[in-house]
């Protein structure tokens, strides 16, 4: 059984479009995260939700909006996509513990 899943795994879209990436975890964790890995493989946190409450919001453009409908889900919506948004986006989760479990990543390509 997949612990942290993301859909889609690949997403190709044009500049200006709006897209969403979904994340689900079946581990019973209460904290979920979004990380961005750029073309140079650098990984940086974007957001974190704890019990559906936003607790980490790094310097991310307003075009990125996370939404957590419940503790098991954290979605990422991106408006007006730009070329620089092309990256791999990782979802992760944790529970009262520093160790985080990562999803398989979503490769977003903006053309």
Partner 1 sequence: AQTVTQSQPEMSVQEAETVTLSCTYDTSENNYYLFWYKQPPSRQMILVIRQEAYKQQNATENRFSVNFQKAAKSFSLKISDSQLGDTAMYFCAFMKHASPTYKYIFGTGTRLKVLA
3-state class of 111 per DSSP? coil
> Which residue, 15 or 27, is less far from partner 1 as judged by CB?
27
Whole-angstrom Cα Rg for the chain: 13
In the chain the first and final C-alpha atoms are separated, in Å, by: 34
Binds partner 1 (CB under 8 A): choice among 5, 7, 13, 30 = 30
Q: How many residues form the binding site for partner 1 (CB under 8 A)?
A: 26
Strand 31-37 to 43-50 pairing: antiparallel
Q: Does 89 bind partner 1 (CB under 8 A)?
A: no
Region from 12-20, 43-51, 60-68, 75-83 binding partner 1, contact rule CB under 8 A:
43-51
Region from 10-18, 39-47, 61-69, 76-84 binding partner 1, contact rule CB under 8 A:
39-47
Check: CB of residue 8 under 8 Å from CB of residue 23: no
Check: CB of residue 108 under 8 Å from CB of residue 86: yes
Task: Enumerate binding residues for partner 1 (CB under 8 A).
Answer: 30-31, 33, 35, 40-45, 48, 50, 55-56, 88, 90, 92, 94, 96, 98-100, 102, 104-105, 107
């Amino acid at each position: 059984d997949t612990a942290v899943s993301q859909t889609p795994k690949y997403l190709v879209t044009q500049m200006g479009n709006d897209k969403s990436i979904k994340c689900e975890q079946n581990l019973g964790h209460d904290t979920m995260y979004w990380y961005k890995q750029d073309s140079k493989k650098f990984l940086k946190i974007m957001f974190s939700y704890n019990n559906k409450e936003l607790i980490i919001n790094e310097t991310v453009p307003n075009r990125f909006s996370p939404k957590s409908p419940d503790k098991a889900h954290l979605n990422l919506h991106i408006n007006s996509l730009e070329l620089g948004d092309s990256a791999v986006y990782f979802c992760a989760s944790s529970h009262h513990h520093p160790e985080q479990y990562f999803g398989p990543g979503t490769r977003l390509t903006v053309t």
